[in-house]
Amino acid sequence: MTTYRAPLDDILFAARLAAGASAFEAGGILADLGDGLLEATLNEAAKFAEERLASCYRDGDRIGAIFADGAVTTPPGWKEAYAEWVKGGWNALKADPAYGGLGLPRLLNAACTEIWQGANAAFAICPLLSQSAMEALERAASEELKKTYLAKMVRGEWGATMNLTEPQAGSDLALTRVKARPQADGSYRLFGQKIFITYGEHDLTENIVHLVLARLPDAPPGTQGISLFLAPKFIADSQGRFTRRNDLRCAGIEHKLGIRGSPTCTMAYGDGDGAVAYLVGEENKGLATMFAMMNDARLAVGLQGVGIAERATQQALAYARERLQGRTPESDAPAPILAHPDVKRMALTMTAQTHAARAICYETAASLDRARRQRDPARASEAQRRADLLTPVAKAFSTDIGHEVASLGVQIFGGIGYIEETGAAQVMRDARIAPIYEGTNGIQAIDLVTRKLQRTGSALAREIEDMRAIAAEARFDGASALVDAVADFERTSRFMLKAAPALALAGATPYLRLFALARGGTLLAKGAAQGEARRIAIARFFARNLAVASSGLAREAMEGGAAVIEAEAALHA
């Protein structure tokens, strides 16, 4: 009953809309995707995802990752799928050509990421994190580290992980305690425990490269004293063969609500002499490297939300078209439940939310490409600031709707949706992690109202200008709701820019949602302006049924903060 088809038409439409059609022409910043390469690559990605990844999605959950004697066995079929993944070169898409990467645009990688995540999120989170680790090494590692490790990672022959969390240090990395001791040879030894390490141990690759946040003996306290290290599972012997086990191990994996095929590991470093590790970047600057790279991972997790939402929507729509229950005013025979307005409303909500989140994520990815490929430095920096501004919205909104859409999917299935064999429940369980990891969605909202609004200069004003122009030109019925939403967003943005910190923090989450409604709704309207009936219907539904929440969100963000701050009494039982 569970299946997934990559929605290539929608993906191509969103990609072209985000980049602008001329970007793909000769001389355009995405010219390397021109001449049909974008389409051909996505076709191949779809084929691989549908045939190799989607087919082992159910067993990934049913059987899950299994831990025994320090080793992790991935679910049936995953090892074979991963080998094909490497063979297909999918791991290298956006990586640096100097280390074997293809150097292709972020936008292409974003579209592919959505497809992998839609087909099998628990599988796809493995390369997602490898790509983040690659990004960190590209940015900050020494040439030697890059030569030894990066090329293997780019091909996907070696896996990689991000080791941030410790029991006492989750969202608050300042509390990191894992210790790094410098050695005479310039290397380090790591001691301590990390938890919630995604794919910290597995059988997909012959080696695993761990990036680990740790503290040097003389490090200043807090976030200014955290360094980033690379510690491979196997280290080189005297002949340079990576056969010697490092002093690090997986101590266990978690029993999770969802993405059960993805091993979430407790990692123990330095049971003995310490895990051999190498510094990435400068001492005590680990967090900066991590955060610079994290924007990328956050967009990728947003795309996980989109992919999962798409899967849930496909599944619920297929069921709603075939399941006959109840009569409509038009006919006396049992009708497909999709004919009932309330079910249709749910299906449309799923569809419209998914399209809006996709549009925001692709817009962010296209901005990252402009930032890297635009020749004019002023425009490149402008694009980078836009990507910075949009990233928390892309991550939080897409993963919030990922779970909401998946839950609506369960609702459309009704009683059978609550039965695990149907698959709708698995999608919902899988979806629930994305609003939590890579920075909780609350932290995304805080990042937006503190750092991003303050540090991206005129990016916000330009964003609002763009939304306003689209809303003003939209011609479908109900487009006035978009004009209202943009006006609500503008008013609330002005409030947020000068609000006392506590009030801004209290209103951050409704503000982010308001941003997403205004941005998502106007991007759908921009697409609708091309005249396709389907896209007009989706944009109209979004405006009339979802963007209309803007006035309430504006009030909540601006007036509700006081009720949060002063509400101490409410929480005393």
Which residues, numbered 248-287, are part of the site for a second copy (CB under 8 A)? 254-258
Residue 502, interface with a second copy (CB under 8 A)? yes
Smallest distance from a second copy to CB 7, Å: 7
Between 51 and 477, CB nearer to a second copy: 477
Query: Restricting to residues 431-490, which ones interact with a second copy according to CB under 8 A?
Result: 432-433, 435-437, 440-442, 445-446, 477-478, 481
Structure tokens at 220: 């200043």
Q: Rg of the chain over CA atoms, in angstroms?
A: 24
Smallest distance from a second copy to CB 238, Å: 40
Smallest distance from a second copy to CB 519, Å: 17
Smallest distance from a second copy to CB 365, Å: 23
Contacting residue, 241, 244, 345, 379, with a second copy by CB under 8 A: 345
Q: Is 20 exposed, middle or buried (0-12, 13-18, 19+ CB in 10 A)?
A: middle
Structure tokens at 492: 């609330």
Smallest distance from a second copy to CB 477, Å: 7
Residue 386, interface with a second copy (CB under 8 A)? no
Structure tokens at 324: 């006959």
Query: Restricting to residues 397-426, which ones interact with a second copy according to CB under 8 A?
Result: 403, 407, 410-411, 414-421, 425
Between 334 and 457, CB nearer to a second copy: 334
Residue 571, interface with a second copy (CB under 8 A)? yes
Largest CA distance in the chain: 84
Cα angle value 230/236/238 (rounded, 5°): 145
Between 279 and 428, CB nearer to a second copy: 428
Residue 194, interface with a second copy (CB under 8 A)? no
Contacting residue, 428, 470, 479, 487, with a second copy by CB under 8 A: 428
Paired with 213 in beta bridges are 228
**d(Cα 440, Cα 349) in Å, to the nearest integer?**
24
Cα angle value 458/461/464 (rounded, 5°): 150
CB 408 within 8 A of CB 312: yes
Choose one: 19-27, 151-159, 336-344, 383-391; the region binding a second copy (CB under 8 A): 336-344
CB 448 within 8 A of CB 511: yes
Contacting residue, 22, 168, 381, 458, with a second copy by CB under 8 A: 168
Between 20 and 170, CB nearer to a second copy: 170
Contacting residue, 217, 329, 377, 531, with a second copy by CB under 8 A: 329
In 367-381, which positions are buried (b, 16+ CB within 10 angstroms) versus exposed (e)? Answer: bbbbbbbbeeeeebe
Which residues are annotated as catalytic? 438
- Total residues interacting with a second copy, rule: CB under 8 A: 104
Q: How far is CA 108 from CA 15, 41, 275, in A?
A: 8, 8, 37
Task: Residue count of the chain, please give it.
Answer: 573
